[in-house]
Amino acid sequence: MKQSIEDIQVDNKRILMRVDFNVPIHDGEITDDRRIKMALPSIKSVINRGGNLTLLSHLGRPSGNGYEEQFSLKPVAKRLSELIGQEVVCSDEDVTSPIILRENVRFNKGEKSGDETFAKLLASDADIYCNDAFGTAHRNHASMVAVPALMEGKPRVAGLLLAKELQYLDQTISNAERPFVAVLGGAKVSDKMGAIDNLLGKVDTILIGGAMAYTFLVAAGTEVGSSLVERDRVEEAKEMLSAAQKSTTELFLPTDHVCVKQIVQGTPVQVVTGAIPNGWMGVDIGLETVAKYTHLLKLAKTIVWNGPMGVFEIEPFDVGTRQVAEQIASATENNAVSIVGGGDSAAAVSIFGLDGKMSHISTGGGASLQMLEGKGFLSVILLDDAV
C-alpha cells in the first residue's frame, strides 16, 4: 500500500501533482471533461486543507520544441477553475497563485526523455510530490519518475485516483476470491501475450475472444478463413496453449463464430461452428461460445476483462461483447468483483450503459495491461509506502 495524499498534512505546503488532463480538444473546446473531473477528489483534498497546488499534465503529442497553441492546457485551466470555483493560473512563469497549472509538460523534450534538468525545473519549489496520473504510470517520463526521484526525502504520495487503480489492479487481483476468471479479447494477440503468460497459474479460467482468438485457433490447428491472424505469433501461441494445459488455469477458445466476407454494416452473415471457410472472417464469438463464457462468468467471484469479444463498433457484431459485458455486470450485482481495462473495452461498457455496474473501470489502457502482465511501475515504486 502506498501513502495517499489524504494521509499527509498539506496546509501551507506546495504540492506538485502530476495528473492526466489529456482530454480531447476541438477548436479550443473540451469535448469530454471526464479526466478533469476524475482528478477533482485529489485536487479538492489539497485545496480544502489549505495546500497550494502546482498541477502537471501532458496533452496530445506536441513536437517537444516549445509552445504550440493547439496543445496548450489553457482550455483545461479554464474548465478546471469553473469546476472548483477558484482561479487556476495556466503559466510556466514564476507566479505565486494558490493553484497553478503548468503548460503541457511535453512542450519540453526533456519530459519524454526523463531528463533530470527538466525535472529540477519542475520540482524547484515543491514540498510534496503527488502522482495521480495512472494512465501514464507505465511511462518513465520526467514528471513521473525523475521528479519524484529528485524529491527523495520529501513526501511522495499517491493521488486518490492512482490509489484506487492500484487497489483494484494490484491488491484485489493478488488476493482474488475464486473462481477468478480473466476475459481477454481485442485486436492483437501480441498485445495480450504477456498478460496471458502472467495469468496462467494465477486465474482459474481464461476466456479468449476477439481477433486474437484466431491466432490461437491457428495454433490449435483450426481453419480460420481470412480472419485476422498474426502469423509471426502462431508458434508463441502454440507454446502458450501447451503451457496452459500444464497449468492449473483452464483456457477456452471460441467454438463458433459470427462470420462475414468484409467488415461493413449490412453485409451477409453466417454463424460457423468449427472451421471457418475460405474468404470468411470471424468478427464476433457465436452463441454457443457466448453461452459457455457467460455460464463460467456466472460462477466467478473475481473477473478481469480486457479486450472486446468482437467488432463491437458495428451492429450486429456487438452481440458477443454485449452479452459478456452484461453477464459481468450481473455477476458484479451478485457480489463478484469486476475490473475492466483497455480503452475499447471501457468504451464498449459505456455504449452498453453498464458504466456504474462494474466494480472498477480502469482509466489506463496500457498501464492496466502492464499490471495484468505482473509488472510494476518505477513511477509507483518511488512513492512512499503507507506506514
Closest distance of CB 238 from ligand ADP, Å: 20
How wide is the angle at C-alpha 35 spanned by C-alphas 34 and 36, nearest 5°?
Answer: 90
12 and 49 Cβ atoms separated by less than 8 Å: no
* Residue 225 or 320 having the CB closest to Mg ion: 320
Q: Which listed option, Mg ion, ligand ADP, none, makes contact with residue 228 (CB within 5 to 8 Å by class)?
A: ligand ADP
SS3 224: strand
| Amino acid at site 299 | L
How many residues belong to the site for ligand ADP (CB under 6 A)? 20
User: Which cell is 39 given?
Assistant: 482528478
Say whether residue 366 binds Mg ion (CB under 5 A): no
Residue ranges in 315-344 that form contacts with Mg ion under rule CB under 5 A: 343-344
Stretch of residues binding ligand ADP (CB under 6 A), selected from 28-36, 120-128, 150-158, 308-316: 308-316
CA 315 distance to own-chain centroid: 25
* Residue 126 or 346 having the CB closest to ligand ADP: 346
- 200 closest CA partner among 242, 256, 145, 151: 242
Chosen residue from 139, 344, 354, 383 binding ligand ADP by CB under 6 A: 344
376 is catalytic: no
Q: Which listed option, ligand ADP, Mg ion, none, makes contact with residue 303 (CB within 5 to 8 Å by class)?
A: none
Say whether residue 343 binds ligand ADP (CB under 6 A): yes
Helices of type H across 32-181: 34-47, 74-84, 109-113, 116-123, 147-150, 160-166, 173-174
Residue 333 sits at φ, ψ, to 5 deg, of -60, -35
CA 328 to CA 322: how far, in whole Å? 10
Say whether residue 307 binds ligand ADP (CB under 6 A): yes
35 is catalytic: yes
268: preceding bond cis by omega (within 30 degrees):
no
74 is catalytic: no
CA 367 to CA 295: how far, in whole Å? 29
* Residue 62 or 341 having the CB closest to ligand ADP: 341
CA 28 to CA 39: how far, in whole Å? 21
Pick the catalytic residue: 2, 35, 156, 164?
35
Chosen residue from 249, 345, 362, 370 binding ligand ADP by CB under 6 A: 345
* Residue 79 or 139 having the CB closest to ligand ADP: 139
343 is catalytic: yes
Say whether residue 151 binds ligand ADP (CB under 6 A): no
CA 156 to CA 381: how far, in whole Å? 10
Say whether residue 75 binds ligand ADP (CB under 6 A): no
The site for ligand ADP (CB under 6 A) is made up of 186-188, 191, 210-211, 228, 282-283, 306-308, 310-311, 313, 342-345, 365
The site for Mg ion (CB under 5 A) is made up of 343-344
